[in-house]
Amino acid sequence: MLITKENEEYKAALSDVSEDQLPEGDVTVAVEYSTLNYKDGLAITGSSPVVRKFPMVPGVDIAGTVIDSLGNQFKAGDKVILNGWGVGETHWGGLAEKARLKSEWLVPLPAAFSTKQAMAIGTAGYTAMLCVMALERQGVTPDKGDILVTGAVGGVGSVAVSLLAKLGYSVVASTGRADQADYLKELGASDIINREELSAPGRPLGKERWAGAVDTVGSHTLANICAGTKYGGVVTACGLAQGMDLPATVMPFILRGVILNGIDSVYCPIETRIEAWNRLAQDLDTKHIDLITNEIKLSEAISAASDLMKGTIRGRAVVNVNA
């Protein structure tokens, strides 16, 4: 898939390109699967100027097999994954049959996962794991109370619910899709609330409801989460589906010692990435991977990107780039 912009005309379409058009890099990968993340939806639909260079192949996630490598870190036949690093924004990404990449961006595929399963997890699941690790690092244990997950039917939310439930936490899932209650309970949610409880302007400080949170929404939702977090609780923020603003006060932070922990998955150090993927291999309930997976063909990715932006895709859209 190639995104072009000529004479202010922005277009995403399937195109044939020659291998010598691939960008610089020391590792060439035969891509097997990619995904559609929120950022990919923005790029493909042109809803936000996330693409910095044209033409651009979108796809912030890649899983495949090394074809050749100029260095010693990887060799032909190695299975690898990539998340972030500006791929799909400034460097050609995963919605293609081949990708040329920098070796320092790549993580060896954990033996527990196939390339398809790795992309069912993708940046969304890896980000969810980073959020869980941040909660653990700040001392939020299952005995401290409920953990709220917003945007729970989406990619980050689905994996976060599954991970937290398996680790013994009581999970409150927030969603605007009441018809997905059974899905969220199957993932392990113990309670489900309507996102409208959190999305409107609220009070500077509310009733203490949860010990921690994984928020993918931002804006008023994040402000209300902080206002409802228990004393000493931790809120991890990793998304801005409602907006990039934060109309909050300092009261939750200075009166209850609430910690707001930002989560960056794009430029996260390689050591932390490897730790997160190893934890996913250990802690993610593998039976949930199929439950959250929706496989599509590359030719279906443009229409699926529009559905993603409308919030009608459940879980993860995994793109088989060779189908």
Rounded to two decimals, the pTM is: 0.91
Cβ neighbours for 210, distance < 8 A, ≥ 6 positions apart = 145, 146, 147, 148, 172, 225, 228, 229, 230, 233
The tens digit of pLDDT for each residue in 184-200 reads 999 999 999 999 999 99
Helix/strand/coil for 88: coil
pLDDT band per the 50, 70, 90 thresholds, residue 112: very high
Segment (H or E) for 163: helix 155-166
The per-residue pLDDT for 299 is 94
In terms of Cα–Cα distance, which of 214, 114, 199 is closest to 157? 214
- pLDDT, residue 48, reads 85
What is the phi/psi pair of residue 29, to 5°? -120, 135
Mean pLDDT estimate for the chain: 95
List the domains of the chain with CATH numbers: 2-119+289-320 (3.90.180.10), 123-262 (3.40.50.720)
Residues belonging to the chain: 323
pLDDT at 314: 82
Between β-strands 2-6 and 9-13, what pairing exists: parallel, antiparallel or unpaired? antiparallel
Calculate the CA 184 to chain-centre distance.
17
Cβ burial of 73 (10 Å; 0-12, 13-18, 19+) is middle
DSSP 20-43: GGS---SEEEEEEEEEE-HHHHHH
Question: Among positive and negative, which fits the CA dihedral 26, 28, 33, 35?
Answer: positive
According to the model, what pLDDT value does residue 35 have? 95
Cross-strand partners of 237: 215, 262
Which pLDDT tens digit goes with each residue over 203-258?
A: 999 999 999 999 999 999 999 999 999 999 999 999 999 999 999 999 999 999 99
